[in-house]
Structure 1
Amino acid sequence: MIRAASPADAPDIAAILAAWNRDTVWMPKLHTPAEDLQFAQHLITHCTTRVLYGPDTLGFLSRAGQQIEALYLVPAARGKGLGRLLLNEAKAACAELTLYTFQANLSAQRFYAREGFTEIARSDGRDNAEQLPDLRLVWRKEPQ
């Protein structure tokens, strides 16, 4: 159900990113399909990217070390615990995880809060391409 992404997964990953962007009204439309594909290829080549699949690709998580770069699911896969599957695999590999999410992305904030992430910083958006305020979140493994 979860496996390492390969270059052949880039079109599916790009399509998931494009669909989320298209369906998210507050998100600026900055990237062409070719740029989405190039970004997906970058995630596969330069990050640890894991794909969740059934008969089709359902979602993916990319991380660079402890930094989660992307976690996206197709709309039909949301709210079913599948994002948690991807995230739990990353948690098992790291003692700490960090990520950014946009302040406008309330559903992501609720998801990450349920998964034990806490806010450690806010920005006004001047430091990201979208120019949207964001949050930096962290999760730390419980000491044993």
Structure 2
Amino acid sequence: MPGSPTMRRATTDDVPALAELFLAVRAENAPRIPPIAHPAATVRPFLAHVVATDTVWVAEDEHGLVGFLALGAGGEVEHLYLRAVATGRGTGARLLDLAREARPSGLALWTFAANTGARRFYAREGFVEVGGTDGDNEEGVPDVRMEWRPHRLSAGGSRR
């Protein structure tokens, strides 16, 4: 699709743009996504650590970074953030596809309960809600645990 963002692995050079994107998306999506629980000045060092320790892909168009996904070693989608201009264009699905390729045995994530758009998106992508909390997180707001597991054929050939 013309103008579709390109996907690539993040580098340490991306950290300033990732921090800007992270803060902008959190602000754009309030109150569905609550404000961060830490000072904004801590976001850049935090994301430098994420880039150094997780598998991070970025979505980039002619204007710069429009999204990113951070995947932890155990298949945990630690972060998936998209600017508004990148939503509804398949960008999030493409980032999840990269995560699925890296962790074909399954993925898991947490999303805020109030972020109904994200919950619908993840459900369309095959994630199911498996639990949640009443606010046992840094932000102190309810959240939902979701998981994606690949379909496997049983010995009789039916899908589980």
Could you say which TM-score interval applies, normalised by the shorter chain? Answer: over 0.9
Cα pair 1:99 1:136 within 8 Å, conserved:
yes
1:129 aligns with 2:138: yes
1:72 aligns with 2:81: yes
Cα pair 1:98 1:136 within 8 Å, conserved:
yes
**Percent identity for Structure 1 against Structure 2:** 38
Gaps of 5+ in 1: none
- Following superposition of structure 1 onto structure 2, how do residues 54-93 of structure 1 map, counting pairs within 5 Å? 54-55=61-62, 56-65=64-73, 66-93=75-102
Counterpart of 2:16?
Answer: 11
CA displacement at 1:25 relative to structure 2: 2.5
Q: In structure 2, how many angstroms separate the alpha carbons of the residues matched to 1:54 and 1:28?
A: 26
CA displacement at 1:28 relative to structure 2: 3.0
Q: In structure 2, how many angstroms separate the alpha carbons of the residues matched to 1:39 and 1:104?
A: 24
Tell me, what secondary structure is at the counterpart of 2:22? helix
TM-score, normalised to structure 2, is 0.84
RMSD: 1.2
Counterpart of 1:21?
Answer: 26
Cα pair 2:27 2:35 within 8 Å, conserved:
no
Gaps of 5+ in 2: 1-5, 154-160
Q: In structure 2, how many angstroms separate the alpha carbons of the residues matched to 1:39 and 1:16?
A: 13
Q: In structure 2, how many angstroms separate the alpha carbons of the residues matched to 1:38 and 1:105?
A: 26
Distance of aligned partners of 1:13 and 1:139 in 2 relative to their CA distance in 1, 3 Å threshold? same
Counterpart of 2:158?
Answer: none
How many residues of Structure 1 are paired with residues of Structure 2 in the alignment? 143
1:96-138 deviation digits (Å, cap 9, x = unpaired): 000000001001001000000001111011x210001101000
